[in-house]
Structure 1
């Protein structure tokens, strides 16, 4: 933000006058003897700069909220994908274990069919396509 000159109107050194307030003069001006003011154009300029900065802060906060929302959505999608990968890996391991194996029952049964591997794989793949 740019500098704003402050002015003093009042008694200074025994005379009524208006002066720019400088750092060294502050000690010489006694409280209650006069008034401090700024020029309207300085005030308007600094107010506009402040308003623009506040608007930028608001936009940045909104952008941050959108990023958090996007991150949460992506995290949910990643979690669902991880769960599906775990399910499919488990089915793949089980399918490998049961492929070509006959259960020793009367009558002998195909382990693949007994454990309903086709149905379970289809169910997992259909759940993913939704």
Structure 2
């Protein structure tokens, strides 16, 4: 079983919480890439982009390697597997809850089927009812400016 260290999971989920970082991880699914190639599609300065890479590296989601002047990044999927295992526990819980709700609703439908026609009225009236009023109620509170 995976050891669910709170600090590790906090770092992983914090890194995954940002869309830019998730896009970087998606780009790295294709293989290793240079920092400049990863930064190119994002509309931000290189120093700002490097902060995102540091967060990903701190969470263990990427590894950086330098070859001369070129820094390349590689995806490290192991931390995501730990996060996925943690989420799987709750997926089982919610699937069980939703299955239970489906069984309940199916049982209720069997006992009390939906009526397609309104039930007959025993009041002895002619069946004519007054339409609902179109008048609105008293005005509500207004916003102070």
Q: Quickly name the TM-score band, shorter chain normalised.
A: 0.3 to 0.5
- Which protein is richer in helix relative to its size? 1
- TM-score normalised per structure 2: 0.31
- TM-score normalised per structure 1: 0.34
Of structures 1 and 2, the one with the larger relative CO (CA 8 A, separation 6+) is 2
